[in-house]
């Protein structure tokens, strides 16, 4: 019994348009939500071009590009939306294509899940979808792979178009305060060690969020109760969540440790998750919202540190007497609807020295969305501002500016950053390729 | 302090960790203390803020004590009596998160009922708010990370509302943070900080339940000065311990991790004799009997088990820290004092009151008096001595004679008629820790003078309570 994918009509139009392109194979990502019974595909996004792409390169599939694109896209998806799989539009032989698709889907899934700070749940769906479209015949072949099983083979799946797939999806959201601080090791206060320490701190915080109590519209609902029970069908529902946490009861580390300083992240974030309209349970709403809370904070911290690392900002070293404090603003979250009607949105992060045009450029390049400034929802978060008077002791406060806005190739920058960081680099994944 | 009266009182106990985190410049002790005090002040503000939430364990009830005592579900309001919360608490029998039906009221416990609450912080609030700022401070220093195990208990009477209870709980939490601050600063040395912990002690009426903050990891011997002060403060006698760690109040709904039954005698109805008075063991003991701990001592271990029950009393009253000894350890102790040959260890030989006295002395440092009766019928005339023992010492008595050993936990004795009954804990029981069965079948029960073999001689070991705090 294979999986069944219910796909927005708009995706069919999008894929058709891509078929009309004459140059080489076109790859891309399929975005949506999986559930135990059914899977929903809401968007398809073609892989963006690299600036230096040549005609020759256009004939083969750039695996690194596909996976890096998937990582960037995944960071722009609110809770409930994820990269479900990969599509390719090519008239190449089906068997070879399937092999390529299999490699891509495993690589994409591995890269994306390596960034997750939460533990996989027992009820997570681990099947990913691959779609092969022949541009001449328009024939589509849909297969799934279980990415938890390295030896899994292709299984057939249903691919069915429908209109208004997500038009009555429910939205759960909240505005949440983050307050974490971690010590920095003695004599190692560079950006790299800050990254490591923050990752540890974020993991502990993520665990607190995961084990926290979630109230929906002010009530603690039993896990298996239906969220939309008693509501009129096909009417869009929005819910507000509240999260209550307690710190970990056990403390295993030393009470007082030497340090070279400390780093903290303080402020508020807006979190949002979308739920399919097929009788979603309270448990699902809680899981998806909590994951979005964790990933929006982690993503922004990563983005900030990636910028610092690639722009070569280096710490001047710690000194015994002087206390130096730097304050950096995390970018704020902006939402953009996927369709003119329908609640489902994607999001992007705007650094303090960027304008909305940069956000629009990124939405176009990464998600192939044509948005206008008035479509963007900028009201959910207020841009952070560094307050000079906050700083203690020494007046040697330096506010490091967020890097300059780039009007050009975001995916190119992302690829460079990935290479510079050697972080779970796409190439590493191919060493483990099956 | 409110009296813990089991018929009308509910104890509300709130527990929850609070994180103590700050960066410390350890070269400046004054500044360090200021920073720590400021961090505690921040925690007190947190507890008094609107983000503070009290969650009733095993229920869908959440209370915001600083937001006009707002609660969810909506049936609960600030004027709801505390007792009503019981209806919302799920026991193992139910799955639903709703109210329990009126018929299924909870069994009446003999001790006060407890409602457990968890201290939580709400991290969400209505937006929009400012996006986060990452702040990096570079300075060679120290970082303090500790978890304060908040644990407060307040007693409420049946007329108290949730609003009253919350006020008192918040007061208790704030006060506890102040105590913890004091203890932390007091025991701070250079870069070592001892994390404070809270313990509850049930003092004799009318003082009731009292909470004390001790530095974690400090042993009872290190805390003697504190205990002296507490005894003075609460006007307690200075010859018995009330504030040792082992004396900490055991809340009725907390299971004991070791699985032994505690004080099975409390569920019994005591006999009424003309002008009779009941004299019982004081404090807590565990019931030790045949076949426990996977040790098959059926037929020979009764005196050993009685000795174990006695040892458990000394440990739980805080006189000793040593755990209850095993049969082998008991036998080894007798070899060590020269009373038995080395071949005794691992054997199934019986012991008597004299051996019990020797082991109590050797392993626990406890002295005991021996009482001898030449025939069982004489025991009926020992009422006064036994009553006095339970009054002044309050320890369980081991009695051995004929071929049996038992533990005497108390007597009911009439000074005028001389009638007497003995509260017996029988170590010959071989079954499971089933309180119902044990009391129904008399394994722990009141016996008359005919319980003893009228012609056999008996030795009683009466352990003496050390006069210390």
Of A312, A341, A361, the residue at which a domain comes to its end is A312
CB contact under 8 A, B17 and A248: yes
What is the distance between the alpha carbons of residues B296 and B304, in angstroms, rounded to a whole number?
A: 12
What is the distance between the alpha carbons of residues A40 and A31, in angstroms, rounded to a whole number?
A: 8
CB contact under 8 A, A329 and B147: no
* Shortest Cα distance, chain B CAs vs residue A154, angstroms: 41
* Shortest Cα distance, chain B CAs vs residue A399, angstroms: 10
Residues A113 and A251 in one domain: no
Which positions of B are catalytic? 302, 426, 428
A403-412, B268-277, B390-399: the lowest-pLDDT one: A403-412
Of A113, A129, A162, the residue at which a domain comes to its end is A162
Q: What is the pLDDT of residue A208?
A: 94
Q: What is the pLDDT of residue A407?
A: 47
> In this prediction, what percent of chain B has a pLDDT beyond 90?
71
* Cα of A262 vs its chain's centroid, Å: 27
Nearest to B133 among A319, A330, A379 (CB): A330
B101 reaches A (C-beta below 8 A): no
CB contact under 8 A, A247 and B147: yes
* Shortest Cα distance, chain B CAs vs residue A118, angstroms: 18
In a domain, A117, yes or no: yes
Residue B381 clears pLDDT 80, i.e. is over it: yes
Neighbours of B260 (CB within 10 A): 19
What is the distance between the alpha carbons of residues A330 and A317, in angstroms, rounded to a whole number?
A: 23
Q: What is the pLDDT of residues A363-374, one digit of tens each?
A: 999 999 999 999
Q: What range defines the domain where residue A129 resides?
A: 4-51+59-162
- Which band of pLDDT confidence, cut at 50, 70 and 90, is reported for residue A308? confident
CATH number at residue A70: 3.40.140.10
Q: What is the pLDDT of residues A80-125, one digit of tens each?
A: 999 999 999 998 888 888 999 999 999 999 999 998 888 888 889 9
Residues A177 and A119 in one domain: no
**Domain limits, chain B:** 10-89+111-121+143-247, 276-463
In a domain, A380, yes or no: no
- Which band of pLDDT confidence, cut at 50, 70 and 90, is reported for residue B24? confident
Nearest to A177 among B118, B125, B147 (CB): B125
pTM of this structure: 0.82
CATH class entry, domain B276-463:
alpha beta
Of A140, A162, A184, the residue at which a domain comes to its end is A162
In a domain, A206, yes or no: yes
For residue A28, the number of C-alpha atoms closer than 13 Å in the C-beta half-sphere is 21
- ipTM for the complex? 0.85
Whole-number mean pLDDT of chain A?
84
CB contact under 8 A, A270 and B127: yes
In a domain, A225, yes or no: yes
In a domain, A422, yes or no: no
The residue of chain A nearest to residue B135, with distances taken between CA atoms, is: A327
Question: By the 8 A CB rule, do A164 and A122 touch?
Answer: no
**DSSP code, position B286:** B
Whole-number mean pLDDT of chain B?
89
- Cis preceding-peptide flag for A331 (omega within 30 of 0): no
User: Comparing C-alpha atoms, which of B251, B390, B246, B258 is closest to residue B317?
Assistant: B246
Residues A88 and A66 in one domain: yes
Which DSSP string do the residues of A316-380 spell out, in sequence order? ----SS--EEEEEEPPEEEEEESSSSSS-EEEEEE-TT--HHHHHHHHHHHH-----GGG-B--S
Residues A24 and A154 in one domain: yes
Q: What is the pLDDT of residue A329?
A: 93
Residue B104 clears pLDDT 50, i.e. is over it: no
CB contact under 8 A, A246 and B129: no
Nearest to A260 among B72, B126, B140 (CB): B140
* Shortest Cα distance, chain B CAs vs residue A424, angstroms: 24
In a domain, A87, yes or no: yes
Number of domains in chain A: 2
**DSSP code, position B406:** E
The residue of chain B nearest to residue A386, with distances taken between CA atoms, is: B133
Q: What is the pLDDT of residues A148-161, one digit of tens each?
A: 999 999 999 999 99
CB contact under 8 A, A269 and B122: no
In a domain, A388, yes or no: no
Residues A201 and A76 in one domain: no
Nearest to B62 among A215, A380, A392 (CB): A215
Say which residue, B26 or B77, is predicted with more confidence.
Answer: B77
Residues A241 and A111 in one domain: no
Residues A90 and A187 in one domain: no
Q: What is the pLDDT of residue A310?
A: 77
User: Which run of H or of E encompasses B20?
Assistant: strand B10-24
Residues A181 and A83 in one domain: no
> By three-state DSSP, how is residue B162 classified?
helix
CB contact under 8 A, A380 and B128: yes
Residues A68 and A136 in one domain: yes
- Which band of pLDDT confidence, cut at 50, 70 and 90, is reported for residue A389? very low
Residues A97 and A69 in one domain: yes
- Which band of pLDDT confidence, cut at 50, 70 and 90, is reported for residue B105? very low
In a domain, A123, yes or no: yes
Residues A107 and A239 in one domain: no
Q: What is the pLDDT of residue A314?
A: 54
Residues A40 and A122 in one domain: yes
């Amino acid at each position: 019994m294979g999986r069944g994918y219910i796909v927005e009509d708009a995706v069919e139009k999008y894929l058709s348009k891509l078929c009309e392109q004459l140059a080489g194979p076109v790859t891309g990502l399929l975005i949506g939500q999986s559930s135990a019974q059914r899977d929903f595909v809401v968007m398809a996004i073609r892989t963006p071009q690299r600036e230096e792409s040549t005609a020759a390169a256009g004939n083969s599939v750039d695996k690194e590009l596909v996976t890096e694109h998937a990582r960037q896209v995944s960071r722009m998806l609110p809770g409930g939306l994820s990269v479900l799989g990969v599509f390719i539009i090519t008239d190449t032989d089906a068997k070879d294509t399937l092999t390529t698709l299999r490699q891509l889907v495993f690589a994409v899934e591995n890269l994306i899940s390596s960034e997750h700070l939460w533990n996989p749940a027992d009820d997570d769906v681990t099947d990913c979808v691959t779609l092969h479209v022949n541009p001449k015949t328009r024939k589509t072949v849909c297969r799934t792979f279980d990415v938890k099983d390295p030896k899994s083979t292709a299984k057939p799946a249903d691919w069915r178009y429908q209109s208004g797939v997500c038009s009555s999806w429910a939205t759960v959201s909240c505005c949440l305060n983050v307050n974490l601080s971690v010590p920095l090791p003695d004599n190692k206060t560079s950006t790299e060690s800050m990254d490591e320490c923050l990752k540890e701190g974020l993991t502990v915080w993520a665990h607190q969020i995961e084990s926290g109590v979630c109230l929906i519209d002010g009530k603690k609902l039993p896990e298996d109760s239906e969220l939309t029970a008693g509501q009129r069908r096909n009417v869009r529902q929005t819910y507000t969540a509240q999260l209550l946490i307690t710190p970990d009861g056990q403390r295993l580390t030393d009470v007082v440790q030497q340090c070279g300083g400390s780093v903290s992240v303080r402020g508020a974030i807006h979190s949002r998750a979308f739920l399919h309209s097929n009788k979603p349970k309270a448990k699902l709403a809680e899981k998806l919202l909590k994951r979005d809370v964790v990933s929006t904070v982690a993503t922004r911290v990563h983005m900030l540190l990636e910028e610092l690392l690639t722009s070569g900002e280096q710490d001047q070293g710690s000194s015994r007497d002087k206390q130096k404090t730097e304050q950096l603003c995390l970018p704020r979250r902006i939402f953009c609807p996927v369709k003119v009607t329908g609640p489902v949105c994607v999001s992007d992060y705007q650094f303090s020295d960027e304008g909305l045009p940069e956000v629009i450029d990124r939405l176009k390049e990464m998600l192939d969305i044509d948005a206008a400034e008035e479509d963007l929802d900028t009201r959910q978060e207020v841009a952070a501002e560094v307050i000079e008077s906050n700083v203690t002791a020494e007046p040697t406060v330096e506010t490091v500016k967020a890097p300059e806005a780039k009007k050009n190739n975001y995916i190119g920058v992302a690829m460079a950053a990935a290479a510079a960081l050697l972080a779970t680099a796409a190439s590493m994944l191919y060493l483990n390729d099956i | 302090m409110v009296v813990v009266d089991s018929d009308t009182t509910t104890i509300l106990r709130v527990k929850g960790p609070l994180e103590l985190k700050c960066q410390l410049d350890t070269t400046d002790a004054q500044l360090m203390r200021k920073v720590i005090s400021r961090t505690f002040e921040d925690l007190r503000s947190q507890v008094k803020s609107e983000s503070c939430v009290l969650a009733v364990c095993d229920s869908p009830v959440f209370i915001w004590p600083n937001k006009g005592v707002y609660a969810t579900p909506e049936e609960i309001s600030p004027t709801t009596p505390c007792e009503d919360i019981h209806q919302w608490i799920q026991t193992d029998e139910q799955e639903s998160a709703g109210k329990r039906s009126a018929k299924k009221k909870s069994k009446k416990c003999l001790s006060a009922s407890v409602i457990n609450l968890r201290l939580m912080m709400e991290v969400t609030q209505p937006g929009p708010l400012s996006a986060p700022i990452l702040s990096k401070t570079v300075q060679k220093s120290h970082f303090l990370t500790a978890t304060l195990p908040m644990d407060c208990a307040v007693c409420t009477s049946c007329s108290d509302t949730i609003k009253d209870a919350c006020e008192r709980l918040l007061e208790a939490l704030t006060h506890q943070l102040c105590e913890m601050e004091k203890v932390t600063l007091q025991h701070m040395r250079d870069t070592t900080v001892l994390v404070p912990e809270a313990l509850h002690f049930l003092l004799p009426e009318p003082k009731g339940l009292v909470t004390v903050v001790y530095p974690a990891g400090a042993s009872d011997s290190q805390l003697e000065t504190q205990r002296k002060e507490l005894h003075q403060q609460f006007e307690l006698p200075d010859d018995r311990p009330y504030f040792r760690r082992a004396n900490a109040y055991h809340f009725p709904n907390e299971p004991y991790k070791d699985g032994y039954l505690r004080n099975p005698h409390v569920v019994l109805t005591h006999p009424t004799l003309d002008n009779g008075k009941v004299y019982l063991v004081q404090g807590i003991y565990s019931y030790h009997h045949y076949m426990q701990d996977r040790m098959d001592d059926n037929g020979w271990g009764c005196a050993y088990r009685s000795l174990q029950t006695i040892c458990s009393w000394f440990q739980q009253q805080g006189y000793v820290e040593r755990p209850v000894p095993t049969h082998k350890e008991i036998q080894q102790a007798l070899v060590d004092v020269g009373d038995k040959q080395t071949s005794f260890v691992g054997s199934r030989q019986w012991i008597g009151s004299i051996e019990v006295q020797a082991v109590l002395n050797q392993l626990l440092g406890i002295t005991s008096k021996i009482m001898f009766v030449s025939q069982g019928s004489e025991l009926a005339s020992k009422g006064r001595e036994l009553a006095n023992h339970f009054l002044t010492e309050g320890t369980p008595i081991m009695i051995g004679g004929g071929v049996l050993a038992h533990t005497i936990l108390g007597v009911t004795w009439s000074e005028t008629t001389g009638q007497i009954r003995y509260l017996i804990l029988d170590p010959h029981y071989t079954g499971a820790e089933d309180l119902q069965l044990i009391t129904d079948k008399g394994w722990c029960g009141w016996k008359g003078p005919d319980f003893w073999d009228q012609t056999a001689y008996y030795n009683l070991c009466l352990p003496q309570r050390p006069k210390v705090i």
